[in-house]
Amino acid sequence: MTNVKHYILVISLLSCLACAQDKNPVNNAHSYEIVVSDLRNPWGFTFLPDGSMLINEKEGQLIHYKDGTKTTVANLPDIYNRGQGGLMDIELHPNYTENGWIYLTYASTSGENRGGHTAIMRAKLKDNALVENEVLYKASPNTTSSRHFGSRIAFDDQNFLFFSIGERGNRDENPQDISRDGGKIYRINDDGTIPNDNPFLNEPNAKTAIYSFGHRNPQGMTIHPETGEVWTHEHGPKGGDEINIIHSGKNYGWPVITYGINYVGTKITDETEREGMEQPLHYWVPSIAPSGMAFISSNKYKGWKGHLLVGSLKFQYLDLCHIKNGKVVKEERLLDGLGRVRSVEQGPDGYIYVGIEQLGIVKLIKDK
Amino acid sequence: MKPIIKLLPSVLLFMACNSSGKSKIAIEKNDSKEKATLQNPNLKLSMDRGEAIYSDFCITCHLPNGKGVPNTFPPLAKSDFLMNKRKESIRAIKFGQSGKITVNGKVYNNVMAPLGLEDQEIADVMNFITNSWGNTNNKLITEQEVSMIDE
């Protein structure tokens, strides 16, 4: 009888451990106001110089939000709205006021094979329509898998264009093979040409736009406001979501090393580190399912300047990652329970704007 | 009172997490699938394709054992909605589902975005979920039947 009791105790302890909970404390010293309402999945958004917003609805709608009115932008490319794919991120060229270029990522069926893969394009906005559309990169081969399109975009301070493409659910073939698309961070010039110091230019059969590899599904990317480094985060499997700083030619390890396990609870690997593979700056077990990423670089949030914000889809909060000496030292839940946080941006006014599924875009306000 | 409210989500998550922990066993012991497919080779082919679709598109929310997540994602296993409301179930997969629905006496108010599946894929995944985890459905769902369902 005692044995049985012990057995039950051990099992419950094990199941507790296996199912570690997100313990980040809730921060209540803030509030929010809804800026744009009635959005289904604002996957990405950005601000035009006049203060209006361009908002990507994942299902394939580009909305120009100005003076309280939503206008649908015409002449989008054909968008493959399937599973996690659709119309994804949007970013302006750093010199937008001079050249007018807008960059978009989306899932596309163009090319051979059934299904789709991630594409990045640029276009200009004229009379509520995209014009001068140019596809800059389209990953291949297409697949009908619902998963892992990546798709975040960021320009660094030298105007190199970085974007992510997830491994499309094919972890055994894509992330560790630089001759294949997917599971990579890419770097191209603003016109789609390949920079002449990309790391794999001289590797046989390599996709030369690749900048780093061994990624799973990065849905967060931003530039550190002081160091200029490219910071990303990515979804792990069950556990093992990561924050990484992206360096040229590096291997970030998926699926050879990971802090996560298979979705059904079985192991992927025993290894969490290996020589020649990068360790994450930070990782989450259990997974928070991160999407959207921005640093607070303005003075609008006293005490939070320099900290990092990451959306949690799974636990439905905005994760305030306190950064000290380049490390995450503490996390707090902002906007707790408001909805699945999909996108985060610091606006030109210095305030933080947060895209939340089935809600809209809200402005974060610090109370004290 | 307040601490209880704060505790509630973690309790729910704990439950959700526990049920996913058992999931592998549930997939291995899918007796109803075996029974159904013994009699009908077309059903077996459709269910095999449907299982792949399920593992790709549905498993994250409805879980490997089809039990869903309490109060968040409704169960498919022994679900009265799925088994009695064939058209509504197909429509939900085809065009997405939002707003209140009642499953096994419990009200769910959540959103399932349109998945972007083709009609044949919807038929396949319907054949899989209506013949798994204790569910049995003796009337094969076809691509044509799915194509007739309007938004």
In chain A the domains, ranked by start, together with CATH numbers, are 27-366 (2.120.10.30)
Question: How many angstroms separate the CA of residue B115 from the nearest CA in chain A?
Answer: 5
Question: Which H or E run includes A124?
Answer: strand A117-126
> For residues A18 and A195, what is the distance between their CA atoms, to the nearest angstrom?
45
> For residues A315 and A328, what is the distance between their CA atoms, to the nearest angstrom?
19
Q: How many CA atoms lie within 13 A of A52 on its CB side?
A: 13
Mean pLDDT along residues B50-62? 94
> For residues B92 and A73, what is the distance between their CA atoms, to the nearest angstrom?
28
Domain residue extents for chain B: 2-147
Question: How many angstroms separate the CA of residue A40 from the nearest CA in chain B?
Answer: 9
Cβ-Cβ pairs closer than 8 A, A with B, add up to 56
Q: What is the DSSP letter of A113?
A: S
Residue A215 annotated to the active site: no
Over chain A, what is the mean pLDDT? 94
Contact at CB, B114 and A337, closer than 8 angstroms: no
Q: What is the pLDDT of residues A194-231, one digit of tens each?
A: 999 999 999 999 999 999 999 999 999 999 999 999 99
Contact at CB, A59 and B10, closer than 8 angstroms: no
What is the separation of C-alpha A131 from the centre of its chain, rounded to a whole number of angstroms?
A: 26
CA-based nearest residue in chain A for residue B117: A82
Chain A residues whose beta carbon lies within 8 Å of the beta carbon of residue B116:
80-83, 85, 146
Neighbours of A1 (CB within 10 A): 5
Q: How many CA atoms lie within 13 A of A184 on its CB side?
A: 27
Band the pLDDT of B12: cuts 50, 70, 90. Answer: very low
Least confident of A84-88, A124-128, B12-16: B12-16
Least confident of A1-15, A31-45, A101-115: A1-15
Question: How many angstroms separate the CA of residue B118 from the nearest CA in chain A?
Answer: 10
Chain A residues whose beta carbon lies within 8 Å of the beta carbon of residue B61:
none
Band the pLDDT of A306: cuts 50, 70, 90. Answer: very high
> For residues A147 and A261, what is the distance between their CA atoms, to the nearest angstrom?
17
Nearest to A21 among B6, B10, B56 (CB): B10
Question: How many angstroms separate the CA of residue A264 from the nearest CA in chain B?
Answer: 6
Nearest-CA neighbor of A241 among A278, A194, A290, A202?
Answer: A290
Nearest to B113 among A41, A145, A266 (CB): A41
ipTM for the predicted complex:
0.79
Contact at CB, A18 and B21, closer than 8 angstroms: yes
Q: Which fold has domain B2-147?
A: Cytochrome Bc1 Complex; Chain D, domain 2 (1.10.760)
State the virtual CA torsion across A148, A150, A151, A153 in degrees, nearest 10.
180
Is the pLDDT higher at B131 or at A22? B131
State the catalytic residue, choosing from A30, A93, A117, A148. A148
pLDDT of residue A100: 98
What is the separation of C-alpha A243 from the centre of its chain, rounded to a whole number of angstroms?
A: 10
Name the residue with tokens 């700056």. Answer: A281
Chain A residues whose beta carbon lies within 8 Å of the beta carbon of residue B64:
263-264
In the predicted structure, residue B1 carries a pLDDT above the cut 50: no
In the predicted structure, residue B10 carries a pLDDT above the cut 90: no
pTM of the model: 0.88
State the virtual CA torsion across B76, B78, B82, B84 in degrees, nearest 10.
-170
Chain A residues whose beta carbon lies within 8 Å of the beta carbon of residue B113:
40-41, 58-59
B contact residues 1-60, partner A, Cβ 8 Å cutoff: 6, 9-10, 13-14, 17-18, 20-21, 23-24, 27, 56-57, 59-60
Chain B residues whose beta carbon lies within 8 Å of the beta carbon of residue A21:
10, 13-14
